[in-house]
Amino acid sequence: MSGGVHISLDREASKRLFVCSDEELRSFVDEFSANEDNQQQSLIHVTGAVWKTLHRCLTDGTLGPTAGEFPLNHCFLGGRQLSRASGFSVTLVRPDMTRHVADAISQLSDDELRARYDQYLGHTAEATELDDATTALRKLGEFFNTASSLRHAVVFAAEIQPG
């Protein structure tokens, strides 16, 4: 897996994850993400490496799973932690919470995202870097909106490097 990936899951698939070992979670994410039917149904959203920047902007500037406040902290590392493996994070946002996350993303203006970027990352963004983050956040908002409409949970998985 390169970067971060969000997965939209129905109730039965979500329930299966709660009993998975860390190794099984990693396999589930890899297999689900590689499945062409899942890709065609837009059940997968690849955020790539920009997820780290966005998580920092939406929380308190750190990569901690408890950073920031609901609902923006549930875009990436917030929510129910499913993986305990070092260096790998899998979190789940319940179906009844996905609407709150989608709404919070849609209410965050581009100017506010820029201000958060400057505050938490300590420098003024280059136009292309901030444009990439803004575009990624808008697409993520659409993904959460669709998941909410389907009454799906959203799982986020990513490699987490220490430090």
Q: What are phi and psi of 91, to 5 degrees?
A: -125, 155
Residue 6 belongs to some domain of the structure: no
Number of domains in the chain: 1
pTM above 0.75, yes or no: yes
Rg (CA), the chain: 15
Residue 24 belongs to some domain of the structure: yes
CATH number of the domain at 71, please: 3.40.1760
Residue 7 belongs to some domain of the structure: no
The pLDDT tens digits for 128-151 are 778 899 999 999 999 999 999 999
Q: What are phi and psi of 68, to 5 degrees?
A: 75, -170
Residue 139 belongs to some domain of the structure: yes
Ranges of residues in the chain with a pLDDT under 70 are 1-2, 123-127, 162-163
Domain that holds residue 75: 14-159
Q: H or E segment at 24? A: helix 22-34
Residue 3 belongs to some domain of the structure: no
What is the CA 19 to chain-centroid distance, rounded? 21
Tell me the C-alpha distance between 123 and 55, whole Å: 16
What is the CA 37 to chain-centroid distance, rounded? 21
Residue 149 belongs to some domain of the structure: yes
